[in-house]
Amino acid sequence: MITKLTILLGSPRKSSNSSFLAKKLGEIVDKKGIEVETFLLHEMDIHMCIGCEVCQGEKNTGCILRDQMQEIYPSLQSADAILLAFPIYYCSINAQMKVVIERFYPFGTKGLSGKKLGVVVAHAESGAAHAIHIIKDICDYCNMAYVGNVEAEMQDGGEAEKQWMKLKKDVEKLADELLK
Ligand SMILES: Cc1cc2nc3c(=O)[nH]c(=O)nc-3n(C[C@H](O)[C@H](O)[C@H](O)COP(=O)(O)O)c2cc1C
């Protein structure tokens, strides 16, 4: 059984489909007495990786950028499961989430090793398979265990809430995989 789940919400919109489903999953995990920490990336001051490679040096200084990613690093470190929830923009992972993933660089191939990773992806029609493929490659690089995903195929905000009864089983299944 895991002890902590960190949820990263990548959607910028208030009535977000991906965030709604990720929060529902968080509630399921929380009810099991597991710590859940959630970050709404759009409201955080998180800069893009500048490729300085300082974090790859022998001194183990971590990332030199002093922004709110410094709040996310310890959460990811102490979690044994991570949930990435994001919409598809232009056939790929949306920018808010991609910026944060690129800031995983200080962890290298070992820092996140052994942690479980799940995905909630919302999309209107295309791009989810491509994004999931990318996330699986990232898991391989970071030695994380990809445990599954929930795909919500919908355009309008609030749609996931309306279709909750239909999506509930998928969310519960992903929660089970993360909890194991
Ligand atoms: C800028 C932008 C680009 C988008 N590009 C795609 C796309 O390439 N493929 C797709 O299926 N949906 C695309 N969509 C639709 C969203 O993925 C869809 O509305 C999704 O439900 C949004 O999830 P959210 O409510 O969690 O933000 C795009 C939406 C926006 C605003």
149 pocket-lining for ligand 1 (C-beta < 6 Å): no
Question: Which atom of ligand 1 is nearest to 124's Cα?
Answer: 11
Alpha helices in 6-65 (DSSP H): 17-31
pLDDT in the model for residue 59: 83
Question: Which atom of ligand 1 is nearest to 156's Cα?
Answer: 19
User: Hey, what CATH class is 4-179 in?
Assistant: alpha beta
Return the beta strands (E) in 1-40 as ranges: 4-9, 35-40
Three-class DSSP category at 1: coil
Residues 138, 49, 77: CA angle, nearest 5 degrees: 55
Convert the pLDDT of each residue in 61-120 to its tens digit.
899 999 999 999 999 999 999 999 999 999 999 999 999 999 999 999 999 999 999 999
Residue 92: other Cβ atoms inside 10 A: 15
Kindly state the percentage of the chain with pLDDT values over 90.
Answer: 96
pLDDT in the model for residue 56: 94
129 pocket-lining for ligand 1 (C-beta < 6 Å): no
pLDDT in the model for residue 1: 87
What's the whole-number average pLDDT of the chain? 97
Nearest CA to ligand 1 atom 28: 89
| Domain residue spans of the chain | 4-179
pLDDT band for position 6 (50/70/90)? very high
When pLDDT is averaged across residues 33-62 and rounded to a whole number, the result is: 95
167 pocket-lining for ligand 1 (C-beta < 6 Å): no
Convert the pLDDT of each residue in 146-162 to its tens digit.
999 999 999 999 999 99
173 pocket-lining for ligand 1 (C-beta < 6 Å): no
Reported pTM: 0.98
Q: Give residue for tokens 């660089």.
A: 105
Question: Which atom of ligand 1 is nearest to 18's Cα?
Answer: 26
pLDDT in the model for residue 61: 87
Asked if residue 127 has pLDDT above 90, the reply is: no
Distance 162 CA to ligand 1 centre (A): 17
pLDDT in the model for residue 77: 98
